[in-house]
């Protein structure tokens, strides 16, 4: 899939960043989480940012986005209790 796009050193750094980020997340081994983190890391690498630090930071931003999207909104989580 992406093997032809990046050299072996970049791929190794990308895998390292993915593993580092996913080890710090509660559901980090879940396919859906790894997939979102990997997408963000790939996007980062395609933009030319290929250090382990840059790739890890990109993965961490993906985790932040995931946690924000999974947090219940006030309007979804009991708006009726606020009205009483």
Is residue 41, in this structure, part of any structural domain at all?
Answer: yes
Is residue 75, in this structure, part of any structural domain at all?
Answer: no
Query: Quick one: tokens of 64?
Result: 């932040």
CA distance 26 to 67: 11
Is residue 73, in this structure, part of any structural domain at all?
Answer: no
Please name the residues in contact with 83: beta carbons below 8 A apart, sequence gap of 6 or more: none
Is residue 79, in this structure, part of any structural domain at all?
Answer: no
More confident: 77 or 70:
70
21 lies in which domain range?
8-67
Structure confidence at residue 75 (pLDDT):
52
Q: Is the pLDDT of residue 58 over 90?
A: yes
Structural domain total, the chain: 1
More confident: 75 or 41:
41
Tell me which residue of 32, 30, 27, 2 sits closest to 15, measured CA to CA: 2
Confidence label for 71 from pLDDT (cuts 50, 70 and 90): low
More confident: 69 or 64:
64
Is residue 78, in this structure, part of any structural domain at all?
Answer: no
Is residue 77, in this structure, part of any structural domain at all?
Answer: no
Is residue 54, in this structure, part of any structural domain at all?
Answer: yes
- Mean pLDDT for 37-60 is 98
């Amino acid at each position: 899939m992406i093997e032809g796009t990046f050299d072996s050193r970049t791929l190794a750094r990308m895998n390292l960043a993915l593993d580092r980020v996913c080890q710090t997340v509660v559901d980090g081994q879940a396919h859906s989480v790894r997939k979102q983190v990997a997408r963000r890391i790939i996007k980062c690498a395609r933009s030319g940012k290929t250090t382990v630090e840059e790739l890890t930071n990109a993965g961490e931003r993906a985790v932040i986005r995931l946690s924000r999207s999974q947090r219940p909104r006030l309007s979804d989580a009991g708006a009726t209790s606020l009205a009483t």
